Structure 1
Amino acid sequence: MSEKKHLYILWTSADPVTADKMVFMYAINSMAHDWWEEVTLIVWGGSTKLVSENEAIQRRIQEAQEAGVQVTACKGCSDQLGVSEQLEALGIEVQYLGVSLTNLLKSNETLLTI
């Protein structure tokens, strides 16, 4: 069995401390220390609203992107919250993710849920 090289982080928590001290800390350090070759942060649910409203979290998104973390957001959530354009302006790829998440799960990809 080959070693997995891509980490997906499904971030649904609206808690800013969890975002800063777990989501971003681990994602950024994973790239900085080569723990994973690729890291994709999936913004979904409550985290969508947090990103749209919190400037400190927006700065952490930028830091993660600069470290090489791919950031994508659920379009269904962001459309319902009216923040899709705001997320796109932050360089976040906004797309429907239900099928993609299902495929990740069915493929046994490495998925960390927070």
Structure 2
Amino acid sequence: MKLLIQWFLYAAALLAVAAVYGGVEIRSFGTALIAALVIGLLNAFVRPVLVVLTLPVTLVTLGLFLFVVNALMFWAAASVLEGVHVSGFGAAFLGSLIYSALGLVIDSALRRLFP
């Protein structure tokens, strides 16, 4: 049950990103649901490989390069999906920052609801 609620809230967060920031466009809530799923799968399977491959750069930048990795995951999901448009890497970067901030709020709220 918690996983379904989390999935719906992350889809709503994607719609909020699109509403707040003009560089990200999402056609509908159904598209946002699919996009949230794709972003989650990319973060689960592709992101760890990228983190390991970019470890030297991440260490030199004191972890700040992880923001670039997050933006790449966001941009990759948008490029794979129909109905999701990100206007460029800068838009993906800002969109991923907003999405991550909303994700922190969602995770914090769900931890309180489902201990």
Report the TM-score, using the length of structure 2 for normalisation: 0.25
Write 1 or 2 for the structure with the bigger share of strand: 1
Max Rg structure: 2
